[in-house]
Amino acid sequence: MDPKRLILAALVLAGLSGALWWSNKQEPGKDAKSSPEDAPKILEIPQDQINKLEIRRMGAEPVVLEKAALWALKAPKELGADQAVVGNLVGNLAVFGSDRLVDAKPADMKPYGLVEPLITVIVGRKDGKTHIVHFGDDTPSGTSSYVRVEGDPKLYSVVSATKIMFDKTWRDVRDKRLLTFETEKLTSVELGAIAFGKSGANWTILKPKPLRADPVAADQLVRKLAEARLEVVNDTEEEASLPAKFAAGKLLGIAKVTDGKGTQQIEVRKGNENEYYAKSSVVDGIFKTPADLGDALAKGLDDFRNRKLFEFGFTQPDRVEVKDGEKNYVFAKSGAEWKRDGKAIDPGSVQQVVDRLRELAAVKFADAAPGTVVAEYTVGKEKVTVTKQGETYYGKRADGGDVYVLDPKSVSEVRDLAASAKELAAAKK
């Protein structure tokens, strides 16, 4: 190749590289790889100093939040605030980091959308200081957004998710709880005609009559009520249609909860389009709500009754007695050994009997236990009597009015396990 042409090509290439470098430096929003030194903190505020936030979005009403003991929404409506959502905003402002420093002193902020910013966040402090953060356009790559702080000449970029985080309406930051009771201070819960009472950690059914409550089912109901949330609807036309949809909906349930501060109520209905609507005594209005709340309030009495015949749970009893017809098997613990009629019994055999009695549960409930007595089971201080009429077995606890319909297989399994319990000497052969 001609040396002169080679030199000329090299000079042209160098010129083009320099022009490209200069263009990248001057073009607004040109993204570049950054090192940790290129990504300084924009703000650093003691989190406990922040007591006011104002979010101004272009073309929307300002959202004003203030903190006393808790954060509260002050404008455009006075409502409780979602403490988790606001806490996340505050936490990010306390240590507000950049993606990179774009320019230490840009000549003009207009090319970056920061003369008329899309979002402005005003941070108020207890000491009277104020910080104003402006979010502008996205960078050409769309992965970051331009940011500046009033009083600071620097231009920064932050990841786009940061700008999205602060793009909040008053509906986004309001307290979305439909009930505000304190779970640990609950004294009673009502679901239609069903009333639950609480003594310590134990729930019982008080109405329509005293019955044993399934502790898991009762706790699940309480949890669903505590977690009841309204769904944010930003469409004003849709929001205006909710009262009519609620009125036309099918009633699923009305729940009341009482704690030390009083009683709160929630009513849930199901609409024609498989949507669920709620009305609460805590907040004004009608709201859409998730389906699982409606499903929780649509349950009946039997869904909350305790199907287990015994309550000893996973505690290990010292005495188990199984009467079946004329046969009687008594297993008593002596020290570390299980004995029957003074003879040592294989502990594994006794454990099978204990486990089967622990699992003994109703297939359904009945109003009475007719027939003749065919078996009695005693575990510690708990006693269950089994009667039979026709092919149906009924179980009834000695201390309660519940009557349980039993699977015949479970009755025969208890009988067979008690009868087959091995003496320890025989078990070792």
Model confidence pLDDT, tens digit, residues 372-405: 999 999 999 999 999 999 999 999 999 877 999 9
| CA atoms within a 13 Å half-sphere pointing along the CA-CB vector of 344 | 9
Model confidence pLDDT, tens digit, residues 140-165: 999 999 999 999 999 999 999 999 99
Which position has the token pair 């505590």?
Answer: 226
Q: Which CATH architecture has domain 30-173?
A: Sandwich (2.60)
Alpha-carbon gap, residue 8 to 4, rounded angstroms: 6
pTM listed for this prediction: 0.78
| CA atoms within a 13 Å half-sphere pointing along the CA-CB vector of 60 | 20
**At 248, is the pLDDT very low, low, confident or very high (cuts 50, 70, 90)?**
very high
| Omega before 106 within 30 of 0, i.e. cis | no
pLDDT above 60 (res 230): yes
Start-to-end CA span in the chain (Å):
100
Alpha-carbon gap, residue 222 to 243, rounded angstroms: 26
Give, in order, the Cα–Cα distances in Å from 333 to each of 233, 303, 317, 337, 417: 63, 36, 8, 6, 17
pLDDT of residue 273: 81
Alpha-carbon gap, residue 212 to 197, rounded angstroms: 11
Closest CA to 182 of 237, 263, 126: 263
pLDDT of residue 2: 53
Closest CA to 96 of 63, 121, 66, 127: 121
Rounded to the nearest angstrom, the gap between the alpha carbon of residue 297 and the centroid of all alpha carbons in its chain is: 17
Helix locations, 150-198, DSSP H:
160-166, 170-173
Instruction: Show the tokens assigned to 84.
Output: 């988790």
Phi-psi group of 421: left, alpha or beta (phi > 0 → left; psi -120 to 50 → alpha; rest → beta): beta
**At 37, is the pLDDT very low, low, confident or very high (cuts 50, 70, 90)?**
low
Contacts of 206 by beta carbon, 8 Å cutoff, 6+ apart: 188, 195, 196, 197
Mean pLDDT score, 352-374: 96
Phi, psi of 237 (to 5 degrees): -70, -45
SS (H, E, C) 118-131: CEEEEEEECCCCEE
Closest CA to 73 of 180, 165, 176, 182: 176
What would the DSSP string read from start to end of 240-283?
HHHHHHHHHSEEEEEEEEEETTEEEEEEEEE-TTS-EEEEESSS
Q: Is the CATH number 2.60.40 carried by domain 319-428? A: yes
Rounded to the nearest angstrom, the gap between the alpha carbon of residue 169 and the centroid of all alpha carbons in its chain is: 23
- Asked whether this chain's domains 30-173 and 319-428 adopt the same fold, the reply is yes
Going from N- to C-terminal start, the domains of the chain cover 30-173, 183-304, 319-428
pLDDT above 80 (res 34): no
Model confidence pLDDT, tens digit, residues 303-347: 999 999 999 998 999 999 999 999 999 999 988 899 999 999 999
Closest CA to 321 of 309, 330, 311, 333: 330
Total Cβ atoms within 10 A of residue 305: 19
Mean pLDDT score, 266-293: 95
pLDDT above 60 (res 7): no
Cα torsion for 266, 270, 271, 275, to the nearest 10°? 90
Residue 323, classed as helix, strand or coil, is: strand
Model confidence pLDDT, tens digit, residues 50-69: 999 999 999 999 999 999 99
